[in-house]
């Protein structure tokens, strides 16, 4: 196997970048969930559209949040 020629990023600085990225991603996921739920509640969407969006919200909540709805 050939060795990489590009320099690697040291782990400890990378660890903080990953943590910051995951924190930002989790915040955006929660904001998107809230926006989708608001869109469903406000109406203006046909029933099939509401059903599809509600299914996606439920799937995302199941993956991202605990059973009690908390983090």
User: What pLDDT does residue 17 have?
Assistant: 87
So what's the pLDDT on residue 48? Answer: 93
**Secondary structure of the chain: what % helix, strand, coil (to 5)?**
70, 0, 30
pLDDT value at residue 44: 85
Helical (H) or strand (E) element with 3: none
pLDDT at 12: 86
pLDDT in tens, 21-64: 999 999 999 999 999 999 999 988 899 999 999 999 999 999 98
| Domain boundaries along the sequence of the chain | 33-64
Res 10: pLDDT: 86
End-to-end C-alpha distance for the chain, whole angstroms? 42
Q: What is the pTM of this model?
A: 0.69
């Amino acid at each position: 196997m050939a060795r990489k020629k590009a320099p690697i990023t040291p782990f400890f600085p990378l660890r903080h970048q990953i943590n910051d990225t995951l924190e930002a991603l989790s915040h955006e996921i929660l904001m998107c969930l809230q926006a989708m739920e608001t869109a469903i509640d406000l109406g203006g969407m046909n029933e099939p559209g509401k059903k599809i969006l509600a299914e996606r919200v439920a799937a995302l909540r199941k993956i991202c949040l605990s059973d009690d709805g908390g983090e």
